Structures are given as C-alpha cells and as structure tokens.
Copies of this chain bind each other. A is one copy, B any other.
Amino acid sequence: MALSHLSRIYRPQFGLLTDLYELTMAAGYYDQGIHERRAIFHLFYRTAPFDGRIALAAGLPLAIDLIENYRFDADDIQYLGRLKSSDGSALFKEPFLNYLQRMRWTGDLDAIPEGEIVLPNEPLLRIEGPLIMVQLLETALLTVMNFSTLVATKAARIKAAAGNDTVLEFGLRRAQGLDGGLTASRSAYLGGCDATSNVWAGRYYNIPVRGTHAHSWVMVFPDELTAFDAYAEALPANCIFLVDTYDTLEGTRNAIRVGNKLRERGHEMNGIRLDSGDLGQLSIEARKLLDEAGFPDARIVASDSLDEYAIRELKAEGAKISIWGIGTRLVTGHDQAALGGVYKLSAIQDTTGNWQSKIKRSETAEKSSNPGKLAIRRYYRDEQPVGSQLFNELSGEPGNSVIANGKVHSLSGTCQPALQPVYRNGSRVSDLPDLHRSRALAQKNWSDWERIDWNRFRYGLSPELEAEKAELLRQKA
C-alpha cells in the first residue's frame, strides 16, 4: 500500500489545489472563448470573527507562494484527463488540458499587507487577470487567507488580554493537520504571540521556540523530586518545572528545593508551570511559596484550555501568572473555527475592453457584493484611524464621504490607501516585509484600533459606489 500524502505531496505546483467546479468553469470559459477576458475578483469577509469588529490581515506570503506556483505538471494533467462526466465521456477535452499545462500567472494583485487591520467587506485581496486564472485561484487563496487571518486575529485578541505578559503558542498537537499547525504557529506569532512550541515553525519561520518538560518526564522517574533534579542536571539553564503531575503545591516545593540546588551551581530556575486545577488560586499560593523561598523572579506559566476570556477572568481574580501557554483555542479558532471569507467576481471586460461591473445579489443590499475595482481609503486624525471608505477606482476619484446606515457622513483627516500593489502583469512589484516586522506593525495597529470609538468611526461605501450598487441591484431585481 502506498503511504499517505505527508511525505510526498507538497511540491512546487499547486494546480490541483482547487475545487473541481473551478476546473469545470475554467473548461467552460475556454470552450466559450472567454477565458482570457480580464476579470476582477475580491477576497473579503462579511462578519468580523469572534464577535469583534475587525480582523488582522494575514496570509499574503502564502497567497503569493500559491500564485507563483499555481501550475499543473504532466501527472496532474493525466489525472484530469481520466476524469469522467456522468455519461462516461471525458470531463475535460484535450485542448483545454493543453492550455492548462501552459498557463502561467500574468495578473495584478493588490492586498492589505500582513499586520494591517481589515474591516468587513473590505478586500483583503484584489486580483485582476485572465478570467480562467483568477477563477482557478479562488479556492486555494481562500484556504490560506481565511485560516491565517482567523488565527492572527485570535492571537491579537489573546495578546491584548495578556497585556505585558508573555504569550506562548502550544497548539501543534491539536492543530488541524501539519500545515494547520505550521500556518497557525506563523499566524499566532504575527498576531502577537512571543514564541511557539512548534519546532518546525521555529526553523522555517525563524520564530522563537520555547518549552521544557511534560508530565511524562516526571512519571519516568521514581518520584517528582528525582525527576526535577535530573532535569536540572541535564538542562540547568532551561528549568521551568511542571508542578502538577501529582500535587501542585507539593510540586512547587520540590521545584524550590531544586531551584536552591541549581543556584548553588550558579544557575537560576526560570519558573514553574501549572497545567490543571484552579489556576488563579494555585498561582497565588505558588507565588507566595516562591517569594518566601527567595525566588521572586521565578515566573509562573499557566496552561489548560486558555483563551482571551479565561486570561481576563484570571487576571481579574488576581492570578499571579506572567506567561500564558495557549493551545487548542488559539490554533483552531475554537469558538469560531473558520473565517467566512468569500471571493466574488466584481467586474469583467467586454469584447471591446470596457469594464462591466458585476454584483452577487443577496437577501439584503448590504450582504450583496460590491461591484467594480475596489479600493480603500483610510482616514486618520492624530495618527488614530477615524474612518474608512470603499470606492470603485473605475469610476474615478471619490469625494471625502461615505454612506453608513443610509446617511452621508463626511470624512476628514489625512487619508491613505489600504491596498498595496503586489503584482503587475504577473511580475511582483513589492518586497514583502518579513514576519517579524509585520508582527511589530500588528501590535501597534491592534492597540490603535482597540481605542476606536465605534460610535464616531465612519466607514462604508463612497456615495458613488453606493449609487452604482443600487442601480445594479435594481437591474437584477
């Protein structure tokens, strides 16, 4: 039997990483001779995750990787050639498959950079290119942008709850697949975590890695004190003792005993970790024991189903925890396991090269997609964000106002475009900032946006875009 995919599947072409309907549509566009008409799609979400108002943009370098390596090799093409329609005929015809194999990225991409804030209905990505290619990329782009943005946002929320404390991401064992774990560790660091337990992520993304020992270490030895002694002997400068294998406060006393011996040998115990029980109360009692024993600098790490809500509660209770280890609830999103990002066609060129705006009608005008080639202007006063305007670049420069809840609001302050050019005609036109710089940006942004008074912050469509949308909806009614 062949082994599973893990050791052989990731290769430098991602053509098949798509839903079948993207390929059948691509075949249809090809058959109709419209496959190279230029089209614009936007990737955006409608509702902010975790009952919040904003999300932290993440995933762009992964999207770039997918776009640059979106192609089909001979084996992919052979596989597609074997697929059948319901009547047993070949699903895809030869000329289309030949076209696929030759196809290369030639489009434009604009994006909200990693670490910037993105509001509902604002494009995280704006992609323009031959209809067939931008259609085929839909699924893979959604996969990486949805998940990266979800976890980065969760991490920013957790870091905000933790304040000046250290946050460690511990989630690999509960992640959704190996890449789920790797992308989660990356996004968690981007969103504000200080380090990860995931060594793969440490190597590939140059993220600081942290960790000391588990219960199994303690259980291997005849008793806890012997176990701590042995660990201190082997790794004297890396001692955070997990104290809850048998009894948390007795464990703390054992840690102190070993901490004293370490000190005689010229090393300092770094701290202890609590992993079960009433973390607030135990941390207060353990802190007292540590302080009384002369270890005021030994830190208390806590882990056990933590998230931003649990951290805030524990802090309110006066917990003496200064390092938070966060696993499952960070790397999976937990209370929200997916960002509901979508990818919608908003304009296509007709045979004469004129752009035609497109709209996907939904139950309400608000839920319906926005037409055109969208751009975003962010307004700031005293460097604080005060508003955001979505407009259609194809309709010229908009004024300084937006429609929100049916009313016109004028915007003032300095304004900046939120979308940055990434590709023009298939060539990359910007270097991406590295993960560490984006992380610093994210922390500044999150704290700026946390201070927003949402009763005064104005965002929505430009009046021109609102009118165009209303007219398109009227035509489709």
Contacts and interface: CB of A to CB of B under 8 A. Distances in A.
Contacts of A12: 7-8
A147 B23 CA distance: 28
Instruction: Choose among A10, A30, A216, A245 the residue with the greatest number of B CB atoms under 10 Å from its CB.
Output: A216
A182 B179 CA distance: 10
A183 B177 contact: yes
Interface string A163-184: 0000000101111111111111
Contacts of A24: 211-213, 235, 238
A282 interface: no
A358 interface: yes
A97 to B, nearest CB: 13
A338 B174 contact: yes
A16 B237 contact: no
A230 B28 CA distance: 7
Interface-central residue, A142, A172, A233, A334, by most chain B CB under 10 Å: A172
A243 interface: no
- Oligomer copy total: 2
Nearest to A12: B7
B85 A237 contact: yes
B146 A238 contact: no
Contact of A235 (B85, B138, B334): B85
Given A20-B197, A28-B234, A146-B174, 19 more contacts: A1-B433, A8-B10, A17-B200, A18-B172, A19-B170, A27-B234, A41-B216, A76-B203, A83-B209, A86-B237, A138-B173, A142-B174, A143-B178, A147-B176, A176-B338, A177-B178, A219-B345, A219-B360, A276-B362
Report the 10 A-B pairs with minimum CB-CB distance, sorted nearest first. A10-B10, A21-B211, A20-B211, A85-B237, A31-B234, A179-B179, A176-B176, A332-B337, A177-B179, A142-B173
Interface of A: 1, 3-12, 14, 16-25, 27-32, 34, 39, 41, 61-62, 64-66, 68-69, 76, 79-80, 83, 85-87, 89, 91, 131, 135, 138-140, 142-144, 146-147, 170, 172-184, 186, 197-200, 202-205, 209-217, 219-220, 230-231, 233-235, 237-238, 245-246, 267, 270, 276-277, 328, 332-334, 337-338, 340-341, 343-345, 348, 358-363, 431-434, 476
8 contacts: A9-B200, A23-B211, A25-B217, A31-B230, A31-B235, A147-B180, A245-B361, A246-B476
